[in-house]
Chains A and B, each alone.
Chain A
């Protein structure tokens, strides 16, 4: 939460100070995939890969808006509960006999409302998003529990369930991957190719400076929270159809997986730094790692341990690297160079 003295360099660097962190994560992902395809039994078959993608998609979907939120210096811990709420409402309304074509838009609107509540509390009252979303995390999960109780609803129409769980022909690509790729493309363009994206980075780097530069900080943040709510609700619909089960406790703890993956992908928790490519690489790195570990019979418990260690390393390594680089820079300036070289920053 606090970063007391460390000055902020212009880009988050890897250990060596030359390789960018998100590139490193991407390379690591490719290496892991190559290794798994060649050496891990049953990894390469279509069924497993479609499992891998299907299980990772919810995290990847939410990682898109979460990356933008963290880049702008905020965080949303209520995403898992919003997924659960959307799932619970979907189940409850289906039990009432409503048509699924009306239920899904209702769930999405609900997600927008959830995001709006978070965003208004953060931007209008000026509350820290961490505290607000811990509160709404409990509140949304609680409402989901009130709505559906401990029931689970499974009898959704089969063509929708097929969309949630099926994949294209003989390939390993799930149907749901297509909308994800579209959303990913939109998100990449918005964050890295439009003034909106630049504004988010500016807000994360210095909110005050961004405001003086004429960026409408509050409105932008509010719209990011709303987008996060919307995509969480969409994920709730997908989750329900993919696992053919609407329960109030669906996706509990998902927020921590999303944040762990996003941070692993090189998004700085202090805001202002990171790329969507890195975040998505982080998501799939964690997802693949978990899949491989399950295949080679590493217990679920040890997988938690690996996730935790990776998370700690991913935040610690760049900072240690930065401090080493600073120490080196200090040494350099302590012994003045022969020719007047420009000062390294």
Chain B
């Protein structure tokens, strides 16, 4: 992808001004807030149910969240460029089946994972091409490719099903084992997350994603290669959805034509709860990952607290609404503070 690009030298970065720092603080606070909610929720559950954070409990929490965290990471990059990818659920499903199908015919585990990633990247490239070349609204295009990929998947898979006993035991073990309480899948996900986070923070093309999301016109005029960056974001998102598909296969060992159905909305929720603004240009992949962790933890917390699982969907929805409402109110506050500062500076200059 863009790994050949040089990291932006830190000396050349402009000094953050006071207002800039204030905005940074607000967004950092946002990630902090999600983390605090997560920790408080887990601790409260632990207090009321001592079994919750047992070794197996922690392992399950991490395992359950890895797949969502991976897809949310990719989705976050796309949302930062002020686009969206609704086809991730379908891409995850078809990649998982492709990897499983290959493994069942006696393939190598590593190649199977790479196959899934490559397939995801191809669909990502398709989305990216439609969005950037056709200049079609991302929501509509990826809604279309959601159907298209799911359709291809369903025709290809038919009523077949991949089960764990058809897979090499090493692959399935990789999906469940780990170093003490930390599963291998979680480590892999963390590595991917850190790489994408570093790329977005420290590479020119990564910064371009934010520029693009903040103001597409300005980014275009400033010489940001808009189409190339949108393409990169979608390919990355697709590849990560593909990787998530491979991990899904390793984790559950069970894939059919409905795998990943309806996943896109959970992913978008996770990203938005994690503070990546739908209007683009703001948020980090770490926030998105925290959002994903929070959403999956709720699924485990409610049963542990003895609350019926019928509450999960409603709580997820309310959480999303709360997150965007709080974001908006904070943004209005920030805007008010900036206006005030600007007014003060103006009057100071006139004195």
How many interface contacts (CB-CB < 8 Å) are there between A and B? 167
Interface residues of A in 120-165 (CB under 8 A from B): 121, 125-128, 130-132, 134-143, 145-146, 149
Contact with B along A298-322 (1 / 0, CB 8 A): 0111111111110110011001100
The reply on A1 being an interface residue by CB < 8 A is yes
Q: How far is the CA of A140 from the CA of B56 in the complex (A)?
A: 33
Residue ID in chain A nearest B279 by CB atoms: A128
With beta carbons under 8 angstroms apart, the residue of A121, A311, A323 that contacts B147 is A311
Determine if A4 and B136 form an interchain contact, defined as CB atoms under 8 angstroms apart.
Answer: no
From A171-179, A188-196, A234-242, A256-264, the one touching the partner chain is A256-264
Residue ID in chain A nearest B280 by CB atoms: A2
Determine if B130 and A306 form an interchain contact, defined as CB atoms under 8 angstroms apart.
Answer: no
Determine if B143 and A135 form an interchain contact, defined as CB atoms under 8 angstroms apart.
Answer: no
The reply on A43 being an interface residue by CB < 8 A is no
Determine if B320 and A134 form an interchain contact, defined as CB atoms under 8 angstroms apart.
Answer: yes
Determine if B144 and A130 form an interchain contact, defined as CB atoms under 8 angstroms apart.
Answer: no
Contact with B along A314-336 (1 / 0, CB 8 A): 01100110010000000000000
Interface residues of B in 248-304 (CB under 8 A from A): 257, 262, 265, 268-269, 272, 278-280
Contact with B along A1-15 (1 / 0, CB 8 A): 111111000000000
With beta carbons under 8 angstroms apart, the residue of B134, B269, B280, B311 that contacts A316 is B134
Number of interface residues of B (CB under 8 A): 53
With beta carbons under 8 angstroms apart, the residue of A130, A143, A149, A307 that contacts B314 is A143
The reply on B7 being an interface residue by CB < 8 A is no
Identify the A interface with B (CB < 8 A): 1-6, 121, 125-128, 130-132, 134-143, 145-146, 149, 253, 256, 259-260, 263, 269-270, 299-309, 311-312, 315-316, 319-320, 323
Determine if B317 and A138 form an interchain contact, defined as CB atoms under 8 angstroms apart.
Answer: yes
Determine if A309 and B324 form an interchain contact, defined as CB atoms under 8 angstroms apart.
Answer: no
Determine if A307 and B147 form an interchain contact, defined as CB atoms under 8 angstroms apart.
Answer: yes
Q: How far is the CA of A132 from the CA of B328 in the complex (A)?
A: 12
With a cutoff of 8 Å between Cβ atoms, the chain A residues found around residue B278 in the complex are 128, 130-131
Could you list 5 A-B pairs, sorted by A, with CB under 8 Å?
A: A2-B83, A134-B269, A308-B145, A309-B147, A316-B134
With a cutoff of 8 Å between Cβ atoms, the chain A residues found around residue B139 in the complex are 1, 130, 269
Determine if A4 and B135 form an interchain contact, defined as CB atoms under 8 angstroms apart.
Answer: yes
Q: How far is the CA of A269 from the CA of B142 in the complex (A)?
A: 13
With A305-B151, A309-B144 known, 15 other A-B pairs at CB within 8 A are: A1-B83, A1-B138, A3-B137, A121-B325, A130-B84, A132-B321, A135-B317, A135-B320, A145-B310, A149-B310, A269-B137, A301-B150, A305-B148, A305-B154, A308-B150
Q: How far is the CA of A5 from the CA of B219 in the complex (A)?
A: 12
Q: How far is the CA of A34 from the CA of B316 in the complex (A)?
A: 47
A309-B148 in contact given A143-B314, A302-B155 (Cβ < 8 Å) = yes
Q: How far is the CA of A312 from the CA of B220 in the complex (A)?
A: 25
With a cutoff of 8 Å between Cβ atoms, the chain B residues found around residue A315 in the complex are 134, 136-137, 140-141, 144
With a cutoff of 8 Å between Cβ atoms, the chain A residues found around residue B220 in the complex are 4-5
Determine if B136 and A316 form an interchain contact, defined as CB atoms under 8 angstroms apart.
Answer: yes
Determine if A146 and B310 form an interchain contact, defined as CB atoms under 8 angstroms apart.
Answer: yes
Determine if A1 and B137 form an interchain contact, defined as CB atoms under 8 angstroms apart.
Answer: yes
With a cutoff of 8 Å between Cβ atoms, the chain B residues found around residue A323 in the complex are 135
Residue ID in chain A nearest B217 by CB atoms: A4
Determine if A146 and B311 form an interchain contact, defined as CB atoms under 8 angstroms apart.
Answer: yes
Determine if A139 and B137 form an interchain contact, defined as CB atoms under 8 angstroms apart.
Answer: no
With a cutoff of 8 Å between Cβ atoms, the chain B residues found around residue A305 in the complex are 147-148, 150-152, 154-155
Q: How far is the CA of A126 from the CA of B151 in the complex (A)?
A: 36
Q: Closest Cβ of chain B: how far from A252's Cβ, in Å?
A: 8
With a cutoff of 8 Å between Cβ atoms, the chain A residues found around residue B134 in the complex are 315-316, 319-320
Of A128, A137, A308, most B-chain CB atoms within 10 Å: A308
Q: List 5 A-B pairs, minimum CB-CB distance, nearest first.
A: A142-B314, A305-B151, A308-B147, A138-B317, A139-B317
Q: How far is the CA of A311 from the CA of B86 in the complex (A)?
A: 14
